[in-house]
Amino acid sequence: MKYQVLLYYHYTSIENPETFAETHLKYCKNLGVFGRIIISKEGINGTLSGTVEQTETYMKDLKAISGFQEISFKSDLEEFNPFRRISIKVKNEIVTLDLEVDINPHEITGKFLEPKEYFKKLQDPNVVIVDARNDYEYELGHFKNAIKPDIKNFKEIPSWFRKHKQLFEGKTVLTYCTGGVRCEKWSGFLKREGIKDVYQLKGGIITYGKDPDVQGQFFDGKCYVFDSRISIPINHVDPVIVGRDYFTGKPCERYINCANPTCNKKILCSKENEVTFRGSCCETCRTHPLNRYNLKIRS
C-alpha cells in the first residue's frame, strides 16, 4: 500500500482557532489521517499522512472551507506511514517568531521566486543566501554558500540578524526554508528591518527538489523533515553528503536524539558510533540514570 505525506500551510484569518481545531481533530480522526497540525488566528501549518485516497479527500475538503481555497500542498508517496497519531495544537502563531510587533505576510513579505528563478539567482555572485532553519537542519543539508544562522529555534533568528545585520545591508538577499512558512515572516522581518531587496523560495526546499528542470541542483545534502523519515533527498543531479558524524567527522546523514532524555540533542551518528557511545553526546549523558540506551540494554 502507498501512503501520501502532505506538507502545507496557509496564512488566513481564523476567527475562533480553538473551535476550528476541535472540529478539525474530529474530522481527521474520522478520516483516519495522522500527523501534526498547528492552528492559530493567522492560519494553519501542518504535515499529515494517510493513504492516497484519505489524503486526496483531506486536500479537497480543506480547500472547500472558506478562506482555504488557495492553500497549496506539497506531497510525497511513501511505502510506510511516517506518523502514528494525529496531533492538533492551537498556538499564537503557525510558526513561532515571537516578535513584539508581529509580521503579517499579507502586508509585508519578500518577493516569491519559483524554483527556476531561484536557481538563476543562486548563480549570481552578488547575492547573499541565508537559511531560515535551525542549525541541525542546516547541518544535514543546505544550499551552496548559504549562511547558517547560529540558532536552535526559529524565534532566535531576529536576535541573530541584528548582531549580523552588516552581512545584509545593501545586498540582494535570498531566503529559504523547508516548505516556505518560515520565510514568509522571516523575509518580511528583513524588509521591515531595512533590507530592501529580499526574495524567498516559493514552496521551499521541498518544491525546489521536485522541479523537473532544476531537480534540486545547488542543494547539498538532504532536507530535514519533521516525521519518522527524518530526511529526504533534494538534489537529483549531483548529490553530495555534507553531514558529519558527531564523533568522527566522517560523512553521515543519520540523525539520532541523545539518549539522555533531559538533553535530547540531535546528533549525526553512525550505527556503530551509536553503540560505541551509547547513543549519547557526552560522558555526562552516557552515565545519566535515565539514559534510554542504558535502560534498554538492562531490560
Catalytic residue among 177, 252, 258, 269: 177
Let me know: does 228 contact 82? Beta carbons within 8 Å. Answer: yes
Q: What is the DSSP letter of 246?
A: T
153 near 134, Cβ under 8 Å?
yes
Contact 203, 72 (CB under 8 A): yes
Question: For residues 165 and 297, what is the distance between their CA atoms, to the nearest angstrom?
Answer: 49
Q: d(Cα 103, Cα 155) in Å, to the nearest integer?
A: 12
DSSP symbol at 221: E
* DSSP H or E run through 17: helix 17-31
Judge whether 252 counts as a catalytic residue: no
Helix axis angle for 52-63 and 17-31, nearest 10°, is 150
Helices then strands, each counted (H, E), the chain: 10, 14
What's the rounded Cα separation, in Å, for the pair 249 and 123?
29
Q: Which residues are catalytic?
A: 177
